[in-house]
Chains A and B, each alone.
Chain A
């Protein structure tokens, strides 16, 4: 009977409750980490920035079924736009985040328009080509981007004109936590909306969606644009909080890692993307500190265990256990 009860979740009250619980958990974990690991705030802020990239990837891959190994191009667009703007005299952090989001939006529309022309493996190849082109472009345009040295020493003004970005990274951490909570809940709402349903439909059967009279290309392009805003915001957040922008933000490796984090956490739920980022980066951090020689082996083992025993990711596994208890 668990099979039937687990399908009876389509109630709005339950959705709202889950969002509220999820937001509460994120805040509680964030506040807990702030007091338990006061010396790791910049690392925690990094996790939060990357989680925006992974949530953004969840929109196009987990929700809409577009295969991509080049999503960091959107994150990099946001990071470099904010970095370049900062070097050229803009210091207001919120304005820099806005600039990064807009750059992400633009990059999302352009890369979406190209990626969505392909399907399956060709789609994957286009996405890899885009991130490689982005990387090379940024590398070559060293006059603006700093090339392989990156942009360093960005001067960021105080948040709301009040809170300085201090050495301990407190301001950056609270800003990042607030952004992540708000974005996660908004994206959950988006995924449930008629538009989100249409994207989920396209993932499962684009022919059926077209037979309903909806254009899959236009719908997915819109989703790509939104995804670009979120990833660009993440990149800009990283630029603002670390005051450094480097080529590593726009690599194929970063894109592939984002996909791994998404799968570890669970696709299509947004919260899963966040959880996956947290677990993966934390595990990598802890294991590489404990065993600098063999840590990659342990990371590999973690991935295999998750994929074998929790094919729907850690979040999917958790929800299943929760619902079983519930029913």
Chain B
């Protein structure tokens, strides 16, 4: 088992509130791990700690054996730790293919070029169009993102994350807000993720999690309270009480 991301005793407070409470976990090569928990359990905070948007109060984060606890957000992306966002974050007046091309240029360290536009770089255009084709977005390539459907924007988010060639991919509710008729396309996209990529998926949709995840982490009140196979979830008393309240 190759460990890609290893987190030890991660702790984080917002004022007096412990939002991350001594979390330790590992993500291995090729893992398909789901992270669930009731609202306010600290899932998104944990992602923000992984990516470097927040600094932990205590604990360490290692990526491929390297301590990245103090590493800057952008540097972590370059090292292969990439996230998608719960709320779509795109450039409203850029086209679909612009987004992917910009991500390619950034990944290859060519985004500081000040003369040639990417339209004159056939290899960039080709790679961007290939990536869009895989998610069946190629027909919309020249469309401005504010003029495509929400579900398609979510797929574009995944396309951008993947083109950065991550080692570890953190997906924050990739299916949030997508109409049920389009959810299959997201499922297909998730099925087609590179086999050796480590994926951590946050979601509430149990159908999606059962289909996608091979193991599940449950958080409550900032702490990890369960890790196991999806089919073990229903029988676990701590998980039940976390979701249904103590008296259940």
Q: Which residues 52-104 in B have Cβ within 8 Å of A in the complex?
A: 72-75, 77-78, 82-83, 85, 89-95, 97-98, 101-103
| Given known A-B contacts A8-B142, A212-B160, A222-B112, A200 and B91 have beta carbons under 8 A apart | yes
> Is A15 an interface residue when CB atoms closer than 8 A count as contact?
yes
- Chain A: interface residue total (CB-CB under 8 A): 31
| Given known A-B contacts A7-B143, A212-B77, A201 and B97 have beta carbons under 8 A apart | no
A222 — which chain B residues lie within 8 A by C-beta? 112
Cα A3 to Cα B160 with chains together (Å): 25
B78 — which chain A residues lie within 8 A by C-beta? 213
Stretch from A101-109, A140-148, A166-174, A186-194 forming part of the interface with B: A186-194
A44 — which chain B residues lie within 8 A by C-beta? none
Q: Which residues 181-208 in A have Cβ within 8 Å of B in the complex?
A: 189-190, 192-198, 200-201, 204-205, 207-208
> Is B164 an interface residue when CB atoms closer than 8 A count as contact?
yes
| Given known A-B contacts A211-B82, A213-B164, A198 and B91 have beta carbons under 8 A apart | no
Stretch from B3-11, B114-122, B195-203 forming part of the interface with A: B114-122
A207 — which chain B residues lie within 8 A by C-beta? 85, 89
Cα A219 to Cα B119 with chains together (Å): 21
Interface residues of B: mostly helix, strand, loop or mixed? mixed
A215 — which chain B residues lie within 8 A by C-beta? 72, 74
> Is A161 an interface residue when CB atoms closer than 8 A count as contact?
no
CB distance B117 to A208 under 8 Å? no
> Is B135 an interface residue when CB atoms closer than 8 A count as contact?
no
- Chain B: interface residue total (CB-CB under 8 A): 42
Tell me the nearest residue of chain B to A15, going by C-beta. B117
CB distance B98 to A10 under 8 Å? yes
CB distance A201 to B119 under 8 Å? no
Cβ-defined partner of A197 (8 Å) among B51, B90, B102: B102
| Given known A-B contacts A10-B142, A195-B112, A210 and B74 have beta carbons under 8 A apart | yes
> Is B113 an interface residue when CB atoms closer than 8 A count as contact?
yes
CB distance A214 to B74 under 8 Å? yes
CB distance B89 to A208 under 8 Å? yes
CB distance B91 to A194 under 8 Å? no
Cα A211 to Cα B85 with chains together (Å): 9
> Is A36 an interface residue when CB atoms closer than 8 A count as contact?
no
> Is A12 an interface residue when CB atoms closer than 8 A count as contact?
yes
CB distance A205 to B119 under 8 Å? no
| Given known A-B contacts A8-B142, A197-B94, A201-B91, A211 and B115 have beta carbons under 8 A apart | no
Tell me the nearest residue of chain A to B102, going by C-beta. A197
Cα A10 to Cα B101 with chains together (Å): 12
> Is A11 an interface residue when CB atoms closer than 8 A count as contact?
yes
> Is B111 an interface residue when CB atoms closer than 8 A count as contact?
yes
> Is B239 an interface residue when CB atoms closer than 8 A count as contact?
no
Tell me the nearest residue of chain A to B121, going by C-beta. A194
> Is B147 an interface residue when CB atoms closer than 8 A count as contact?
yes
A162 — which chain B residues lie within 8 A by C-beta? none
CB distance A194 to B95 under 8 Å? no
Cα A196 to Cα B117 with chains together (Å): 9
CB distance A193 to B116 under 8 Å? yes
> Is A308 an interface residue when CB atoms closer than 8 A count as contact?
no
Tell me the nearest residue of chain B to A192, going by C-beta. B117
| Given known A-B contacts A11-B119, A200-B91, A4 and B143 have beta carbons under 8 A apart | yes
CB distance A200 to B94 under 8 Å? yes
Q: How far is the CB of B146 from chain A (nearest CB, A)?
A: 10
Cβ-defined partner of B97 (8 Å) among A4, A10, A208: A10
CB distance B94 to A204 under 8 Å? yes
A200 — which chain B residues lie within 8 A by C-beta? 91, 93-94
A190 — which chain B residues lie within 8 A by C-beta? 114-115
Cβ-defined partner of B144 (8 Å) among A7, A12, A208, A210: A7
CB distance A211 to B143 under 8 Å? no
| Given known A-B contacts A12-B120, A212-B160, A197 and B98 have beta carbons under 8 A apart | yes
CB distance B119 to A10 under 8 Å? yes
CB distance A193 to B83 under 8 Å? no
CB distance A201 to B102 under 8 Å? yes
CB distance A7 to B147 under 8 Å? yes
CB distance B77 to A205 under 8 Å? no
Q: How far is the CB of B226 from chain A (nearest CB, A)?
A: 29
Cα A78 to Cα B93 with chains together (Å): 34
